Structure 1
């Protein structure tokens, strides 16, 4: 979720414009002028092309980092149905070896089809909602986009991105839950696919069962975007002011990766609770957490300690850096390709 939110605001949503419109010193103005042409091209490819580029970029990024994403989920749910004292101290390499030995190499991509099915509409809704929320916010007196009003411009992008992330997460949440349950399956296969999982969950747990963990998800989307957006823009502004000649791609990739690490560190406990809530009652298992979101936090810290809230953080770190890089590069490449096609037609 952290990567999706960050890409939705910084890359897909046009976070560069918020930065470019706010600087008043010479170095920043020069950088802003250099960026005007690419931004003009971006607006020329059209909404459909932008949605397509964002969806494909997100799907490719998720597919490439699927093994690390599955390892993260498996570590996150450790201790949910087991005594923490008896849990083996498995490393990433040991868990990866176990998956290959017991389930086969293809098991690293278990649940990836539903991930792609989730990523395409998520990116589309996120992008569409972001642009509309931004227009609505700019109609509020005092939030109009003006070069001298950097604070208002950043506020618009910040709030619009947060609302877009919440909207997209709410609309596509059942697919996110199904993806978690498919990825968490090891040797015992209870859900045979996307449609079977949706039917089984609805039948056994009711329609609301498809929204287990939504509260933790929505609570995580806001802080995740806030942290990643702030870190990204601050680092990127500092870098371009002091080294304006460096490659824009290099700057964006580096700052985006660092913002992802910061965001993941801050919001990982919410993501862990979200995953565990999504698995409540899966496969007919008894419920573990029955006291709500904050009760779940207390239960985990009491039984597993504070470290229990960060189970799986290492594969999450390893996933963030290439995930942002692949998504950014794919998105920018597709935008240029689609812009060229549009110009020729």
Structure 2
């Protein structure tokens, strides 16, 4: 999830930049963001998410493998695990291409997920700004606009993440199961995995772990949006001449680290829920969400909730940065293309 897709847009109008600087955004930049249409927005978001996931696929697979180790391994085995050891095992037993195992379904999932996420964020942000801020005491005045902007970004990001995750969840589950396979291939591809899960676990099996996903993805993307927007606005108010791509890359990476740290335990639980009963294996957890947390802490310690956090950090810094940077760049390119047609 993590991100999973996070997105940033330029803060316009009366946002932090306007409060901290007498300079107005260039007219050309305003036109670019106003002229980009729905299709272009969806295309930019989808391509940004797909490129980001493809570039960081090896680290994403390592994260998943670490997250699920505690399901079927004893504590002594877990203590010996390391990123280098697991990466070497993959190369030795499965080959280098195995780092991208499940990447096809990741792209198939990420294209619609990121498209819906980006588009929903823009929509929810506008609705929140227009209809909700005036209902919240203290945020309706121009003086408190910075707080209002943060609230809009947080609420819009959370709602967008929930919308995108719910819409594309079965593909996310299939991607996790394909990436978790090592030497034994129980699922032979996207179609075979969908058919097998429906046959063995029922249609509801495609939505295993959705509750934990929604609990995690809402605050994850909300934090990512609000941190990204706040950092980006502050940066541009202090250094307005810095290149947009560099600013997006830096602020996107920092926002990814912040959101991943806060929501990683929920992401770990959702991965384990997604793999319950996979490949004909017996169920490990027989309780609800909080019962799983208690089980992990009891058997693996508190550190067990953050198993796989290091490859996640290594992934999220370039991954989120690439996603933000690509999205912002494509928006400008598509706006320029629209203007010339």
**What is the TM-score normalised by the length of structure 2?**
0.91
Question: What is the aligned counterpart of 1:303 among 299, 313, 316?
Answer: 299
For the residue of structure 2 that corresponds to 1:287, the secondary structure is: coil
> Who is 1:213 aligned against?
209
1:134 and 1:160 in contact (8 A); partners too: yes
Structure 1: stretches of 5+ with no match in the other structure = none
Deviation for aligned residue 1:159: 1.4
Q: Which segment is superposed worse, 137-146 or 310-319?
A: 137-146
> Who is 2:50 aligned against?
59
Q: Which segment is superposed worse, 107-116 or 118-127?
A: 118-127
Structure 2: stretches of 5+ with no match in the other structure = none
2:17 and 2:237 in contact (8 A); partners too: no
Say yes or no: does 1:42 pair with 2:36.
no
The change in CA–CA distance for 1:336 and 1:129 in structure 2 (over 3 A counts) is closer
Say yes or no: does 1:21 pair with 2:15.
yes
> Who is 1:181 aligned against?
177
Matches within 5 A, 1:74-93: 74-87=65-78, 89-93=80-84
Q: Matched residues in 1 for 2:322 and 2:182: separation?
A: 28
2:157 and 2:225 in contact (8 A); partners too: no
> Who is 1:228 aligned against?
224
> Who is 1:139 aligned against?
131
Question: What is the aligned counterpart of 2:93 among 92, 98, 102?
Answer: 102
Once the two structures are superposed, what CA deviation does each residue of 1:29-60 show, in whole Å capped at 9, x if it has no partner?
Answer: 42xx2355324202213110111111011101
Say yes or no: does 1:320 pair with 2:316.
yes
Q: Matched residues in 1 for 2:231 and 2:132: separation?
A: 29
2:296 and 2:305 in contact (8 A); partners too: yes
Once the two structures are superposed, what CA deviation does each residue of 1:185-230 show, in whole Å capped at 9, x if it has no partner?
Answer: 0000000000111111111111111111111111112221333234
Q: Matched residues in 2 for 1:101 and 1:142: separation?
A: 60
> Who is 1:294 aligned against?
290
2:277 and 2:283 in contact (8 A); partners too: yes
Q: Matched residues in 2 for 1:86 and 1:40: separation?
A: 57
> Who is 1:2 aligned against?
2
RMSD of aligned Cα (Å): 2.3
Q: Which segment is superposed worse, 39-48 or 274-283?
A: 39-48
Q: Which segment is superposed worse, 304-313 or 219-228?
A: 219-228
> Who is 2:107 aligned against?
116
Q: Which segment is superposed worse, 162-171 or 144-153?
A: 144-153
> Who is 2:265 aligned against?
269
The change in CA–CA distance for 1:237 and 1:131 in structure 2 (over 3 A counts) is closer
